Amino acid sequence: MSSNAGRFKLMTNQTLAAGSEGALKFTYCSDSDLDPGTKLWFIYDIRQDAGPPQSERPDQPNYVSAEIDSGKPATCEGFGARTLDYYPVIPEFLHICELTLPEGIAQKDTLSINLGSESGPWRYSQNPIKEFRFWLVASKNPGRTFLPTGYKTYRKFDPPVDPDKPEDQPLFVNVAFTGEYPPFALENTRKTPGILWGEIHGMVFNQRPLDDYYNYARDVANYDFAAAMLFSYNTCVGNMWDYVRDTADKFTKSGEFVAISGVEFGTPPDGSHRNAHFFHHVGVPPIFFEERPPALEEQFTRRFHPDTVFCRDLDHFYETVKQFGGIVTGHFHTLEFHQEILGELWQKQRGSAAEEERNFNLLNQGMRLGIVCGSDTHDSMPGNPAPEPGCPQPAGFMAVLSDELTRESIHQAILDRRVYGTTGARIALHLDVSDNHMGSVLSLSTPRSFRLGVEGTTSIESIDLIRDGLVIEVTKPDGSSWEGELADTEGQGSHWYVLRVSQADGHRAWTSPIWFE
C-alpha cells in the first residue's frame, strides 16, 4: 500500500516474517528539482522493536545507506526521536534516518534508500503486524531542519510542518510482518468462575490501529476486559477521543468482552502519570492536563478538539474526572497519590519488591487503595508475556471479582476494591472475613479470621498474611490449591491486611486489603 502515486516505493518483498532479518530497498523520485542541502526524513515506528537505523558500520546490524542514480552524494544519519509534529498521522516514538542531499536532486533522478545490507541486515518487527508503515517526509525547503528541543528526545521541524496541508503530508509505504505472537501458557488463559481477567493500563501510542489492541486482548490473551490508553495530549487532537470511545463501543458485548475508555495524564506539577477511566463515556469531552512542554505549544494545541477541557491544576483535574463519572488510578510513575483508588504492584517496567513496599507505605499513610497489576504494554499487546522495548518483564494481570461481565459490574467492583493482581499467572483467589470480601472496611470488633481459597497454576510455595506491611503468618501448602483460614490473634486496633501468594515458578498474587477500623 502506498500514499504517493509511485514517488515513494518499496522495491523488495512486501510480506516478511516477523522476528527475522534482511534488507529492504526503497526508491524516491521528487516531483520537482530539490536544492542543494535539502534534507529528507525516512521514518518508522519504534514500538515493534525493529532495528534502529545506523549508518556508521556497514558490517553491523541495521545498516542504512542512500544513493542517487545520477552519482550525486547522499548522506544518512540514524537516531531515535519523539515528535508531535505529525501526530496522529505519524506516531510519537520513532526511528529516524535523516537524509541530506549536499548537491540536491533533479526531478529525473532516483534516490535509493537501503535499510539493511548483506553484512548488516535490518532486524524486522519482532511481532506480526498487518501494516508496518514507513514514512518519508520530503521537504522542498532546503533550510528545513529537525532538531532537538532540549526536552527528552523530542524534536521539531523548523520551519513548522502542517499535517493538514497537502505539501507537508508525508509519503508512505507499508509492509506486512507475518507470524505468531509470543505464546501464553494455557493455564494463564483459563477461565475461572467468579473472576474476570484483564487490565486497564495498556498503551497504544504506536502505529497499530486500536482494533489490534482489543483483538489481542480478547483473542490472544483471552481477557474479559481491557482499556486501550493514550496520553491526554493524544486524545485531544482532532477526533481522536471519538475514535477511542467508538472503538471501545465496537468491541464491547456484555457477557463476552468489555472495552473501557481510558486516558493517561502526565500531570503537573511533577510530571506524575495518572490514569483516568470512564465506564460511561457518552458526553465525556477530551480532557487535557499535561506538564511536558511539547504538548503545551500552541502549534500543537491549536489542533485540539474544540470541546477539550483544559485542567488548571491537580484539584481541577480530579474534579473534572469526577464530574464526568470517571475514576483515577496510579502506578509507578505516580510520584504522589491523592485521590487515586488503585495502586499497581507489577507491570512490564516495574515490580514487585519496590512497588510492593511503596504501595504498602501508601496504605500505612491512610490511602484506601485496591491492589492490581497490569502490563503498560507499549506495543498494543495487553497481557504480553514476552519482553518489549523498554518493557522487559512479563505483563501482570488484573482480576475483578464479579459474576457479571459488564462495564457497570467492573466499575462497581473497582469502587468496592473487589480486585487483585498477579505477576502474569491466573491464580484464582477468594478471600473474605465473616463473608466480607477483599477491599472491605470492617469494625474493630470483627474477628480477624481470614478465609482463603487459592487455586494456583502450579505448586504454591507460600501464603503470607501481611499486617501493615509486615508478614505475621506464613502457610506452606502442599500442592497447587489450598483452602483454609489464617488468623491474627494478636492484632488490636486499626490495621489493614493483605494476603500474598507465591508460586514455585516465581509468580505472585496480592489481594486488595481488608481494613479494621
Structural domain contains residue 184: no
- Given a cut of 60, whether residue 1 has pLDDT beyond it is no
Structural domain contains residue 389: yes
Domain that holds residue 461: 427-517
Structural domain contains residue 246: yes
CA–CA distance, 338 with 79 (Å, rounded to integer): 39
pLDDT score for 3: 63
C-alpha closest to that of 67 among 28, 32, 37, 33: 28
Chain-centre distance of CA 234, in angstroms? 13
Phi–psi pair at 247, nearest 5 degrees: -70, -40
Q: Are residue 411 and residue 447 in the same domain, yes or no?
A: no
pLDDT score for 375: 97
- Given a cut of 70, whether residue 110 has pLDDT beyond it is yes
pLDDT 10s digits, 499-513? 999 999 999 999 999
Q: Are residue 267 and residue 391 in the same domain, yes or no?
A: yes
Q: Which of 377, 402, 424 is the last residue of a domain?
A: 424
pTM, rounded to two decimals = 0.97
Q: Are residue 416 and residue 501 in the same domain, yes or no?
A: no
CA–CA distance, 226 with 438 (Å, rounded to integer): 22
- Given a cut of 80, whether residue 162 has pLDDT beyond it is yes
pLDDT 10s digits, 377-421? 999 999 999 999 989 999 999 999 999 999 999 999 999 999 999
pLDDT 10s digits, 32-82? 999 999 999 999 999 999 999 999 999 999 999 999 999 999 999 999 999
Which residues have CB under 8 Å from 170's CB, separation 6+?
3, 43, 86, 89, 90, 135, 136, 137, 138
Q: Are residue 451 and residue 401 in the same domain, yes or no?
A: no
pLDDT score for 411: 99
Structural domain contains residue 3: no
Query: What band does 163 get if pLDDT is binned at 50, 70 and 90?
Result: confident
Structural domain contains residue 511: yes
Q: Are residue 46 and residue 170 in the same domain, yes or no?
A: yes
Query: What band does 491 get if pLDDT is binned at 50, 70 and 90?
Result: confident
C-alpha closest to that of 80 among 158, 153, 172, 161: 153
CA–CA distance, 78 with 97 (Å, rounded to integer): 4
Q: Which of 395, 424, 453 is the last residue of a domain?
A: 424
Q: If DSSP states are collapsed to H, E and C, what string results for 268-330?
A: CCCCEEEEEEECCCCCCCCEECCCCHHHHCHHHHCCECCCCEECCCHHHHHHHHHHCCCEEEE
Strand order in the sheet with 75-82: 15-17, 171-178, 129-138, 38-45, 93-101, 75-82
CATH code at position 53: 2.60.40
Please provide the average confidence, as pLDDT, over all residues in the chain. 97
Which residues have CB under 8 Å from 10's CB, separation 6+?
2, 24, 25, 26, 134, 173, 175
pLDDT 10s digits, 370-384? 999 999 999 999 999
Q: Are residue 312 and residue 387 in the same domain, yes or no?
A: yes
Strand order in the sheet with 24-28: 8-10, 24-28, 111-115, 64-68
Q: Are residue 416 and residue 434 in the same domain, yes or no?
A: no
Q: Are residue 60 and residue 140 in the same domain, yes or no?
A: yes
Is residue 178 within 8 A of residue 322, CB to CB? The reply is: no
Structural domain contains residue 436: yes
CA–CA distance, 100 with 320 (Å, rounded to integer): 47
CA–CA distance, 404 with 411 (Å, rounded to integer): 11
- Given a cut of 70, whether residue 498 has pLDDT beyond it is yes
- Residues forming a β-bridge with 262: 229, 277
pLDDT score for 140: 86
CATH code at position 398: 3.20.20.140
Q: Are residue 257 and residue 400 in the same domain, yes or no?
A: yes
Taking residues 213-233, what's their average pLDDT?
A: 99
CATH code at position 495: 2.60.40.10
- Given a cut of 70, whether residue 91 has pLDDT beyond it is yes
Taking residues 80-99, what's their average pLDDT?
A: 98
pLDDT score for 128: 98
Give the DSSP letter of residue 107: T
Structural domains of the chain, count? 3
Q: Which of 155, 178, 201 is the last residue of a domain?
A: 178
pLDDT score for 171: 97
Query: What band does 5 get if pLDDT is binned at 50, 70 and 90?
Result: low
Q: Are residue 161 and residue 213 in the same domain, yes or no?
A: no
pLDDT score for 351: 76
Is residue 113 within 8 A of residue 64, CB to CB? The reply is: yes
Q: Are residue 280 and residue 352 in the same domain, yes or no?
A: yes
Is residue 94 within 8 A of residue 82, CB to CB? The reply is: yes
CA–CA distance, 374 with 395 (Å, rounded to integer): 6
Report the 10 Å Cβ neighbour count for 111: 25
CA–CA distance, 497 with 515 (Å, rounded to integer): 7
- Given a cut of 90, whether residue 471 has pLDDT beyond it is yes
Structural domain contains residue 185: no
pLDDT score for 164: 86
pLDDT score for 99: 98
- Given a cut of 80, whether residue 182 has pLDDT beyond it is yes
Structural domain contains residue 16: yes
Q: Are residue 168 and residue 226 in the same domain, yes or no?
A: no
